[in-house]
């Protein structure tokens, strides 16, 4: 019998749905709260397996916690979904953008700088409005729509005051002239299982559900399927939420999430996404 592990730091709607999907099947479950444990790097692989299972669905919200956990588990021969390498790429917006470009997936024009001086030069090259994002972050946090050079100076100065190495990496994107929505698709293995529009709430330009965005069903066209699948493959494949925007020139991928949130997508499409994920996990475990 396969033993499926789920590692987490907070049980949200998605984790509950995954738990239910595991319990429905003839599977053993190991539920591990990453906040309660420690890992011994010299531990025997069998010991690690008895705690975590044969295959682990890594669901820690803290990106770095999940990444380090995956590193240890993989070193002991366990299969982690998503794998360390995939999480590493998806946990950094620049790494993701570079992987997408390499695979020929269309992305918004993106510039990188490392200092205030470089950042202002980048903005002069890109023009206003522009979007500034932390390379690692989620739920739309600290993402700024920069409308003028004066606003840019203020934002950059504030960032320079925060002693955080990653915030000194300036990731700028052209502002994509899109409808007040983006599209979230979910890729599970080689299947694009669902898509939903996310409309931003009134008074908010970001479409994140965490910022009051609302999910509505979106037709899963061949174009959407193709771009989502290619984006997922570009970062190494697995269970991935691919987010794209409808630019005047066509779809652009702005993000691939390695720890997908799919509550909005599930309610908008009535597709049992957790079920699809656990089917995939079982398939990988059997290989």
The residue ranges that bind ligand ATP (CB under 6 A) are 108, 131, 133, 137-141, 143, 173, 175-176, 178, 182, 206-208, 243, 254-255, 257
Q: Which two tokens stand for residue 8?
A: 């987490």
Contact assessment for residue 181 and residue 201, using Cβ atoms and an 8 Å cutoff: no
Closest to 57 measured CA to CA, from 244, 267, 239: 239
Query: Which 3-state string (H, E, C) describes 60-123?
Result: CCCHHHHHHHHHHHHHCCCEEECCHHHHHHHCCHHHHHHHHHHCCCCCCCEEEECCHHHHHHHH
Q: Which two tokens stand for residue 12?
A: 């949200």
- Taking the least distance from each CB to ligand ATP, the nearer of 59 and 206 is 206
Applying CB under 5 A, the site for Mg ion has a residue count of 1
Contact assessment for residue 76 and residue 86, using Cβ atoms and an 8 Å cutoff: no
Is position 88 an interface residue for Mg ion (rule: CB under 5 A)? no
- Taking the least distance from each CB to Mg ion, the nearer of 3 and 247 is 247
* Interface residue with Mg ion, options 14, 255, 261, 275 (CB under 5 A): 255
CB of 259 to ligand ATP, least distance (A): 9
CB of 32 to Mg ion, least distance (A): 27
- Taking the least distance from each CB to Mg ion, the nearer of 15 and 255 is 255
Is position 261 an interface residue for Mg ion (rule: CB under 5 A)? no
Is position 275 an interface residue for Mg ion (rule: CB under 5 A)? no
Is position 15 an interface residue for Mg ion (rule: CB under 5 A)? no
Q: How many CB atoms lie within 10 A of CB 231?
A: 26
Report the C-alpha gap between 135 and 22 in whole angstroms: 33
CB of 22 to ligand ATP, least distance (A): 25
207 touches, from Mg ion, ligand ATP, none (C-beta below 5 to 8 Å by class): ligand ATP
- Taking the least distance from each CB to ligand ATP, the nearer of 5 and 91 is 91
Contact assessment for residue 178 and residue 186, using Cβ atoms and an 8 Å cutoff: no
Residues that bind Mg ion (CB under 5 A): 255
């Amino acid at each position: 019998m396969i033993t499926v592990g789920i590692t987490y730091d907070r049980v949200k709607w998605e984790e509950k749905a995954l738990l239910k999907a595991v319990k429905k099947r003839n599977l053993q479950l190991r539920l591990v709260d990453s906040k309660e444990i420690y890992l011994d790097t010299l531990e025997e692989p069998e010991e690690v397996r008895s705690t975590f299972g044969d295959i682990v669905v890594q669901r820690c919200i803290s990106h770095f916690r999940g990444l380090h956990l995956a590193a240890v588990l993989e070193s002991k021969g366990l299969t982690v979904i998503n794998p360390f390498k995939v999480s590493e790429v998806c946990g950094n917006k620049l790494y993701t953008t570079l992987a997408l470009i390499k695979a020929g997936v269309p992305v918004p024009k993106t510039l990188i700088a490392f200092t205030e001086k470089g950042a202002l030069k980048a903005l002069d090259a890109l023009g206003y409005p522009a979007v500034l994002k932390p390379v690692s972050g989620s739920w739309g946090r600290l993402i700024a729509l920069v409308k003028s050079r004066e606003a840019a100076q203020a934002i950059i100065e504030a960032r320079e005051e925060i002693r955080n190495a990653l915030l000194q990496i300036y990731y700028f994107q052209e502002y994509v002239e899109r409808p007040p929505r983006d599209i979230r698709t979910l890729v599970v293995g080689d299947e694009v299982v669902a898509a939903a529009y996310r409309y931003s709430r009134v008074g908010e330009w970001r479409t994140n559900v965490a910022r009051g965005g609302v999910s509505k069903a979106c037709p899963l066209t061949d174009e959407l399927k193709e771009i989502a699948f290619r984006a997922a493959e570009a970062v190494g494949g697995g269970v991935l939420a691919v987010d794209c925007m409808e630019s005047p020139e066509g779809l652009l991928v702005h993000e691939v999430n390695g720890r997908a949130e799919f509550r909005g997508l599930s309610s908008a499409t009535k597709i049992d996404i957790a079920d699809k994920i656990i089917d995939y996990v079982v398939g990988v475990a059997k290989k």
